Amino acid sequence: MAGFDFSGKNVLVTGASSGIGLAVARGFAAAGANLSILALDGDRLAAASTAIGEEFDCPVTALPCDIRDREAVRGALSRLDRIDCLINNAGLELLTPMAEEGDAVEAAFRSVIETNVFGTYYVTRDALPRMPDGSSIVATASVWAKSAEAGFSAYCASKHANLGFIRTLALELAPRRIRVNAVCPGYINTEAAALSVRTDALRTGRSETAIAAAWIAKQALPGLMEPQAVVSSFLFLASDLSADITGQSLHVDRGEFMD
């Protein structure tokens, strides 16, 4: 990507088979990084790896892995020798309304927390011994990491936790000059967001169009963003251009949340 050069840098992007993760992985490949990508769906991950490799004429290491599985994470990251930049993007967004009861909603709540909190912790834990001093970590948080949305208690709780995690890591890793930051995207046109809209429409009886319009109406700038809109923010926070920035969260949400 123009303005960024990651030549010689080893970058790991999790949740990179679709959506924001795939767009960010493509951005690093375009900037010359040695790219590794990790995701749950092995078939989609393989397709993404092949597509990126062909588009940018570069090797891509594909690591199929369920980040909720501690041993699976250990096994996947054991294939990597050095990680100069870790993009903790893998996550799960599911409706978990408190008005609903039963095993299904409790299982959904648990799965979101296990993926977004424990999964992020596991990947980071195993990445750190492979990260040299001066490297960087960038997490995908959410506009809901500093606000809330009815029906998404597990997701909002997990993203608030993600910000607490990156801020604490920023302090712990400062002696090694490893910077830790987050990008907080707003409403992005991804499969995960579309599924949330569709599920909420079925639950409430409202139309998908009405739900999407209500989310967009919270923004100062109108319109629905595409995954590409957040890529430069990840590259900036991973690069030496942000050498004095750590423990911070950068909102790319068209003004939905303002500090």
Q: What is the distance of C-alpha 178 from the center of its chain? A: 19
Query: Which 3 state secondary structure label does DSSP give 151?
Result: coil
Question: Which is nearest to 141 in space by CA: 107, 167, 122, 123?
Answer: 167
- CA atoms of 232 and 225, how far apart (whole Å): 14
For tokens 């506009």, what's the residue? 143
Query: Quick check: is 155 catalytic?
Result: yes
Q: Partners of 169 in the beta sheet? A: none
Q: Partners of 60 in the beta sheet? A: 35
Q: Is 150 within 8 Å of 144 (Cβ atoms)? A: no
Question: Which is nearest to 168 in space by CA: 129, 121, 132?
Answer: 121
Amino acid found at 173: L
Amino acid found at 124: T
Supply the residues annotated as catalytic. Answer: 155
